[in-house]
Amino acid sequence: MEIGELERMAREIRLRDLQAVYEAGAGHIGGEMSVIDILTALYFRVLRLWPDEPKNPARDRFVLSKGHTACALYVTLAKRGFIPEEEISTFLKPHSRLNGHPNCNKVPGVETNTGPLGHGLPVAVGMAKAAQLSGADYHTYVVTGDGEMQEGSNWEAIMAATQFKLNNLTLIIDHNRFQQGASLSDTNDIAPLRPKLEAFGWEVTEIDGNNMSEVVAALEFRGNSPHCIVAHTNKGHGISFMQDRVDWHHKVPNKEQYEIAVAELSEA
């Protein structure tokens, strides 16, 4: 897809995600809005994948380590043909395979179960290492939240990726500057991220993570080291009253707010 089409797709995914969270009465809408441009670029432009063959060994690997934004992934997978789009309406309902965090044994296209933070990057390092060992040419991408980078397990994995010389691994940090309870800067301010990753031997690109052209260019970059994209994003991106407001981490819009949000996303 070209940039304009990707932007339209991202808007559709935002609208469907918003509707799903509104109808389910739960979700993590702030972090979903911040990450959707990245998911869209991956699934509709960058990833080598086969929706009808989700386990094809040659597929690129993608891990959503910030698993609490599962709804955005489900909508993206549905739009890309991995699961029926009408199934999104079962999100969080009893016995739905679409629970609050993605399950790789139930939902095609999900690679590993995430939810507890700090798990996805170590697993992605293992995926990239497996390709290095077998000679497979797939690429591994993993998205973490910025607050999630407070988990020590991520830094264990960051060290290992450098030691293993994994130039087939891309980490995207969704740097929306807010975690569940407060801003990063008021909690455990790990920003700036770039010098920390560089100190550990990674190549780092900083982008506007809600700008589709910049997202695509960064995801398609190939270097000689593990690559980190620090994606500066806005929590609640696209919906004015949610943007950069910490309480929209997992708040659910009421009817009036929902209608305003739909209108804003539709006219964007």
DSSP secondary structure of 127-175: HHHHHHHHT----EEEEEETGGGGSHHHHHHHHHHHHTT-TTEEEEEEE
125 is an interface residue for another protein by CB under 8 A: yes
Distance of CA 133 to the CA centre of its chain: 27
Compute the least distance from the CB of residue 53 to another protein, in Å.
15
Helix (H) or strand (E) holding 263, with range, is: helix 255-267
Cβ proximity to another protein: between 19 and 103 the closer is: 103
Is position 66 an interface residue for another protein (rule: CB under 8 A)?
no
- The three-class DSSP label of residue 58 is coil
By C-beta, is 142 or 207 nearer to another protein? 142
145 pairs with which residues across the strands? 174
DSSP of 232-261? E--TTTT-TTTTT-GGGGS----HHHHHHH
What token pair was written down for 223?
């270097």
Q: Would you give the binding string for another protein spanning residues 160-179, x where CB under 8 A is met? A: x--x----------------
Q: Least distance (Å) from another protein to the CB of residue 167?
A: 15
Q: Which of 129, 175, 237, 249 binds another protein (CB under 8 A)?
A: 129
Interface residue with another protein among 66, 68, 119, 237 (CB under 8 A) is 119
Q: Does 111 bind another protein (CB under 8 A)?
A: yes
- Min dist CB 97 to another protein, Å, is 14
Does the protein bind another protein through residue 254 (CB under 8 A)? no
- Residues 6 or more apart whose CB falls under 8 angstroms from that of 128 comprise 61, 140, 161, 164, 166, 168, 169, 226
Contact with another protein (CB under 8 A): which of 53, 85, 93, 134?
134
Binders in 28-57 for another protein, by CB under 8 A = 57
Decide: 177 and 171 in contact? Cβ < 8 Å.
no
Residues of this chain that interact with another protein (CB under 8 A) are 57, 61, 103-105, 111-116, 118-119, 121-131, 133-134, 136, 138, 140, 152-153, 156-157, 159-160, 163
